[in-house]
Amino acid sequence: MTTVRKLRMRQAIAAAMADEMAADPTVVLLGEDVGAAGGVFKTSEGLLETFGPMRVRDTPISEMGFMGAAVGAAAAGLRPIAEIMFAEFMGVALDQLVTEAAKLRYLSRGEYGVPLVVRMSAGPGLGFGAQHSQTLEHWFAATAGLKVVSPSGANAAYGLLRAAIRDNDPVVFIEPRVLYGEREEVHAGDDAIAALGKARVIKPGADVTVVALGQTVLTAMAASSGTDWSAEIIDLQTLQPWDRETVLDSARRTGRLVTIEANPMAGGWGADLAATAAAELFGRLRAPVLRVTCPDLPVPFASALESRYVPSPDYLRHMITAIVADNRLPRAWWEEEASA
């Protein structure tokens, strides 16, 4: 049965975990301050009280240690959800995810699966500075054996997180930190469990396909209202494996493909889409693929700087308007300013 409630994304995340923990006694949560404190971003409020300290476990500040423990527990019968407070903290635990978790099924001929979800808060926009603001999807998306998912709001977070917990392979679940407090109607219940690997067309359009992920979905929506071009907006939702069919079908129809990314240009997820579109739609597009990204820099702190670093709706509108006007690639703002 589906219920509809208005929830903040952090509440939807807690609800998804609570529903899965209620349905399956092997689902457990571990991480720093996930229990007594309910998560530093309040994404696990109430879970300790409901499910007890054996299933909702506060850990020492030991990402490598508890990530390894999550991998071992997953291989031995639990379905752990490991919370990494800030995505950067994966840096000290990366071995356990990309070198152990992603390869145990392969190296055991399928005898040891790793049904693990690694949740992490990520992304710029809140003034957390250079070491607490990156998105880092590309660290994971290039590793065979992992799936990578990022929700664009409360409703998507609920359905995707439940699907991730049910998946029998390791899933990296990247939660845009700027969205934790955003409220929207959330469809909850078993029927609301989403499918991984599926993008969602959230607004049909004719002139340009705009592919967004996580926090940039809101940017794309805001940028494309009241314009004299119409954008088909796709929420990619799953980055690995990404939904080639939905993206390429849309771009084939509109003839233009734009990605909007909250990460630097170098190695960003849009590069993979652009390369695929170049190969699959060669000669079919009216314009070059446009990637709207952050500059290749660490995330700056000051609001005046960070608000320029992250692509704004105005900037995205400006860029799309330019490419729709003459089918030529507009230069990024920092390139414009460097040549001015």
Partner 1 sequence: MRELLEQETSSAAPQHPWLARRAVLSDPVERYRRMVEIRCTEDWVKQLFTDGLVAGSTHTCQGQEAVSVGVAAAARPADTVVCTYRGHGHALALGMAPEPLIAEILGRESGCVGGVGGSMHLSGRVIGLMPTMAIVGAGIPIAAGVAWAAQATKRDDVAIALFGDGAANIGAFHEGINLAAVWRLPVVFVCENNLYGEYSSISDTTGVTDIATRASSYGIPGEIVDGQDLDAVTSAMSAAIDRARSGEGPSLLEMKTYRYSGHSRSDTGAYRPAGELETWLARDPLQLYAARLAAMGAASPEELEAIRTETRQSVELAVAAAKSAKEPASDAMFRHVLEGVR
Decide whether 194 or 220 has the Cβ nearer to partner 1. 194
> In the complex, what is the shortest distance from the CB of residue 198 to partner 1, in angstroms, rounded to a whole number?
16
**Euclidean distance between CA atoms 82 and 115, whole angstroms:** 11
Output the smallest distance, CB 237 to partner 1, in A: 18
In whole angstroms, give the CA distance from residue 186 to residue 214: 16
The tokens for 215 are: 């926090």
Name the 3-class secondary structure at 57. Answer: strand
Helix, strand or coil, per DSSP, at residue 82? strand
Alpha helices in the chain, H assignment, sequence order? 9-23, 47-51, 63-75, 94, 102-107, 137-141, 154-166, 216-223, 244-254, 269-280, 303-309, 313-326, 333-339
Query: In the bound complex, what is the minimum distance in angstroms from residue 248's beta carbon to partner 1?
Result: 21
State the angle between helix axes of 9-23 and 154-166 in degrees (0 to 180), rounded to the nearest 10.
Answer: 30
DSSP symbol at 99: I
CB 143 within 8 A of CB 102: yes
| Minimum distance of partner 1 from residue 256's CB (angstroms) | 32
Question: Any residues with CB less than 8 A from the CB of 272 and at least 6 apart, and which?
Answer: 141, 242
In the complex, least distance from residue 40 CB atom to partner 1, rounded to whole angstroms: 20
Q: Which residue ranges make up the site for partner 1 (CB under 8 A)?
A: 26, 28, 54-55, 57, 59-60, 62, 64-78, 80, 92, 95-96, 99-100, 103-113, 144-145, 147, 168-169
- Cβ 133 to partner 1 shortest distance, Å: 25
Q: State in angstroms the smallest separation of the CB of 130 from partner 1.
A: 23
Residue with tokens 């926090």: 215
Is the Cβ of residue 72 or residue 153 nearer to partner 1 in the bound state? 72
Q: Rounded distance, CA 206 to CA 190, Å?
A: 34
Closest to partner 1 by CB, 66 or 269: 66
| Residue 132 annotated among the catalytic residues of the structure | yes
Which of 103, 203 has the CB closer to partner 1?
103
Q: In angstroms, rounded to a whole number, what is the distance separating the alpha carbons of residues 276 and 129?
A: 33
Tokens matching residue 158:
């609920």
Q: How many CB atoms lie within 10 A of CB 221?
A: 18
- Type of residue numbered 217: V
Catalytic residue among 132, 138, 187, 318: 132
Residue 175 pairs with which residues in a beta bridge?
Answer: 121
Which parts of 61-211 fold into alpha helices (H)? 63-75, 94, 102-107, 137-141, 154-166
Return the active site residues: 132
